[in-house]
Chain A
């Protein structure tokens, strides 16, 4: 992209959300002043930014802790979901038997099973990873399953005629063919893993050596320090964007390599 092109891109795609953000912040500030909203209910944007700046060390280390848990949960989901989808693709009987429980895993309110997770894995990092894993698993299973089974019929017949074994069919056709679907699943799953890690920290993360963003949100909320809590929530959002952006970039790179560039 040349400089003029970059300029046009910035104006068309980067400027509108920035302008909207500025309007929202201005309206938020005006509302807190005009309606005399107390700081413990809704702090002014400036107070939030000051609190964020003051807590910057703590916020950064909390984001790293949460990010690590989210990355672990996401990695487990990716590998686990792909393995489950591979098994599904090999046997319709297994798929029909197991799929309802995968949906069950998706629909069970995570907060309801949080106490159980704590009983099994204890308070702290492990439980946080488990919650992130459970929340982010389903999109990988469904997207990978779709990718592994939605193969062009002619290609399947071509492989049959070429005498391919079941393993060759999986390894040389189904798995590489599922890459675009996997990328979509990974993007959804990565965002959910961050949500899962923070939810996990709020409900199962209370431990001596675990100080993630969820813990920080809990603490600041308990101390009625709304400006710091808002700062932690904003940092959580930023963390989500960073992880989603990273996975999207890696996904775009993988896809570009997968199908080649158009010369």
Chain B
């Protein structure tokens, strides 16, 4: 699905953000990118989305340059760190937006919006505007908006970073359930190792700037995962192991 070959990014002005990034990701995986702030995780995600281009090496999605792939080959959804909802639209209308842009027929649209609201547990809040919703609810709307287009590739850029711990954990559990039900390929950026360990099938650990991948760790826990997993000794040990990998990279 995604292949990166000696990918590097140097910003104008000479700041090197990414250096010699190599990985490949088969379809249906849930991969987390973990690394310290400023290591280029978000830049790498933007490369996969085709919002930016590598200055060295080559990155492909479904064998194509990402910007081409998202138009022709792989439906892509992106979830930003803040919910990026339109304040003048209700929750339902925000979720409907990508379907309107894609020209989906009205009847089909309404069914999918209803399903989307139900998926994220907001059926009773369809008519609320973003400012009438809590931070967690806004993020749920944002997630539903990303999912109603039935993406094949879901990119999430620290979507729960601004939420409190309990809300973050609930959303993690819901996101994992949704992934198990739909099996889109997911790339999840976070600096929270426990979150990455709970959600993903694989974790790519990145070094500080210029970011490169210093460890590629398979997550040893079977899915579906129960919330209690977080309190198990082997989970804590695994989180510690990934933490050590992170520190090895020079954090």
The segment from A117-125, A154-162, A187-195, A244-252 found at the interface with B is A154-162
Q: Does A56 contact B (CB under 8 A)?
A: no
**What's the Cα separation between A263 and B91 when bound, in Å?**
14
Do B98 and A162 have beta carbons less than 8 Å apart? yes
**What's the Cα separation between A239 and B49 when bound, in Å?**
55
Q: Does A40 contact B (CB under 8 A)?
A: no
**What's the Cα separation between A261 and B130 when bound, in Å?**
10
**What's the Cα separation between A155 and B71 when bound, in Å?**
18
Q: Does B73 contact A (CB under 8 A)?
A: no
The segment from A8-16, A92-100, A171-179, A222-230 found at the interface with B is A171-179
Instruction: Across the interface, name the chain B residue whose C-beta is closest to A260.
Output: B129
Central interface residue in B70, B84, B131, B132, by most chain A CB within 10 Å? B84
Q: Helix, strand, loop or mixed for chain B's interface? A: mixed
Do A162 and B88 have beta carbons less than 8 Å apart? no
Do A160 and B88 form a contact, CB below 8 Å, given A263-B128, A263-B132?
no
The residues in B between 81 and 111 inclusive whose CB is less than 8 angstroms from any CB of A are 82, 84, 86-88, 90, 97-98, 100-102
Q: Does B160 contact A (CB under 8 A)?
A: no
Which chain A positions have C-beta within 8 A of B162?
none
Do B84 and A155 have beta carbons less than 8 Å apart? yes
**What's the Cα separation between A161 and B84 when bound, in Å?**
13
Q: How far, in Å, is B188 (CB) from chain A's closest CB? A: 17
**Top 4 A-B residue pairs of the complex, sorted by shortest distance between their CB atoms:** A260-B129, A154-B84, A154-B80, A258-B88
Measuring CB to CB, which residues of chain A are less than 8 angstroms from any residue of chain B?
152, 154-155, 157-164, 168, 172-173, 176-177, 179, 258-263
Could you list 9 further interchain pairs (A-B, Cβ under 8 angstroms) beyond the known A162-B149, A258-B88? A154-B80, A158-B80, A163-B70, A163-B71, A164-B101, A176-B88, A258-B87, A259-B131, A260-B87
Question: What are 16 residue pairs bridging A and B, where the CB atoms are less than 8 Å apart in the complex?
Answer: A154-B84, A161-B49, A161-B51, A161-B76, A161-B77, A162-B101, A163-B101, A163-B102, A172-B97, A172-B100, A176-B88, A177-B86, A260-B90, A260-B131, A262-B131, A263-B132
